């Protein structure tokens, strides 16, 4: 594979440019090839291979059980799919806290084995040495302050952080330390909106918020939450853009019914059931199949539509599927 094919359109430099011109940054999680391909094609700026995979992919209560090997496995799947977005990978719990040499070795493995673009670490002054050592190796680092899920056993709750003045002051101080160390960006999770705005205004590097108000330079969500695959998690900051849990339940239930009843495989030729034209990942048209004596097309579509499908298939990214 050529070097050019590995060069992302979105870089750490471009994110800083986006902040300077007031363009908001979109960030979503992805953990596998198929989902990452969709997220990237949809135009997301940053794809986060988050240790939240522990929750939504593996069913753990916290992110703590994720290992470095787990993260590399997920990250390798994502980087194979992403062509445009910047790919940032969470460094899992225990790979950077208290040992900067181990932190560097872990970051190097992520960059080499997963071909990631950057790593993300949770914490401020207490992990500064690890951040500096990783940065000295030329590896881009994104910080993460506020609610840090890897420290959930310390907090004992997922409630909003930095509501008290002392903790808010420390967060601001840590944000400046991370910027001065060389971090290219900062995630702010579950902090008061006014604090998120303040930090974003004081820093030159972009901030990405999750439950930190609209004053940050961008937003990030866990894709399973945003698409409604996980229907058991509904924090106030979450906006759902789909209800895939219900849609998938309906689809799978219909499949089971069709198998049990003997209706699958269908005796009705698929060309007579209607078709959905899907191009570049989006439904482009819904149309009934033409009668056998119309259109002159062997696939049941009109001649013009058959030609259009052939043309689009030639340029890539098309498939025909059942509409119902």
The whole-angstrom separation of Cα 54 and Cα 288 is 44
DSSP of 271-316 = GGS-EEEEETTEEEEEEPPPPTTSTT-TTSS-HHHHHHHHHHHHHS
* 36 DSSP assignment: H
Give the largest Cα separation in the chain, rounded.
78
Residue 294 annotated to the active site: no
232 burial type by CB count under 10 A (0-12 exposed, 13-18 middle, 19+ buried):
exposed
How far is C-alpha 200 from the geometric centre of its chain's CA atoms? 22
**Cis peptide bond upstream of 265, omega within 30:** yes
16-22-26-27 Cα dihedral, nearest 10 degrees: 40
How far is C-alpha 130 from the geometric centre of its chain's CA atoms? 25
Question: Would you tell me the crossing angle of helices 33-41 and 68-81 to the nearest 10 degrees?
Answer: 50
The whole-angstrom separation of Cα 90 and Cα 29 is 10
- Token reading at 75: 């990250």
200 burial type by CB count under 10 A (0-12 exposed, 13-18 middle, 19+ buried):
buried
Catalytic residue among 17, 164, 189, 204: 189
Cβ contact 91:107 at 8 Å: yes
Cβ contact 231:245 at 8 Å: yes
Q: Which residues of 107-125 are buried (b: 16+ CB within 10 A; e: fewer)?
A: bebbbebbebbbbbbbbbe
Indicate which residues carry an active-site annotation. Answer: 189
């Amino acid at each position: 594979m050529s070097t050019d094919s590995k060069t992302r359109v979105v870089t750490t430099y471009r994110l800083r440019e986006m902040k300077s011109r007031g363009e908001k940054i979109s960030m979503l999680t992805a953990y596998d090839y198929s989902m990452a391909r969709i997220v990237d094609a949809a135009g997301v700026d940053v794809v986060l291979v988050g240790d939240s995979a522990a929750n939504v992919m593996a069913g753990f209560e916290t992110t703590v059980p994720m290992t470095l090997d787990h993260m590399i496995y997920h990250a390798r799947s994502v980087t194979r799919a992403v062509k445009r977005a910047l790919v940032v990978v969470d460094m899992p719990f225990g790979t950077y806290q208290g040992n900067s040499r181990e932190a560097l070795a872990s970051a190097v493995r992520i960059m080499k084995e997963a071909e990631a673009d950057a790593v993300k670490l949770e914490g401020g002054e207490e992990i500064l040495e690890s951040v500096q050592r990783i940065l000295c190796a030329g590896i881009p680092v994104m910080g993460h302050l506020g609610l840090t899920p890897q420290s959930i056993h310390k907090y004992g709750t997922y409630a909003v952080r930095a509501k008290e003045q002392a903790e808010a002051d420390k967060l601001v101080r840590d944000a400046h330390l991370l910027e001065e160390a060389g971090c290219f960006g900062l995630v702010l999770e579950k902090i008061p909106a006014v604090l998120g705005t303040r930090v974003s205004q004081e820093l030159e590097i972009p901030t990405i918020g999750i439950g930190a108000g609209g004053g940050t330079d961008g937003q990030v969500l866990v894709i399973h939450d945003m698409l409604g695959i996980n229907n058991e998690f509904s924090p106030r900051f979450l906006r759902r853009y789909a209800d895939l849990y219900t849609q998938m339940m309906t689809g799978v239930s219909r499949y089971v019914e069709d198998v049990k009843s003997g209706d699958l495989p269908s005796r009705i030729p698929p060309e007579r059931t209607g078709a959905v034209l899907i191009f570049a990942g989006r439904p482009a048209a819904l149309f009934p199949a033409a009668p056998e004596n119309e259109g002159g097309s062997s696939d049941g579509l009109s001649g013009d539509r058959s030609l259009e499908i052939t043309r689009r298939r030639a340029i890539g990214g098309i498939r025909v599927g059942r509409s119902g």
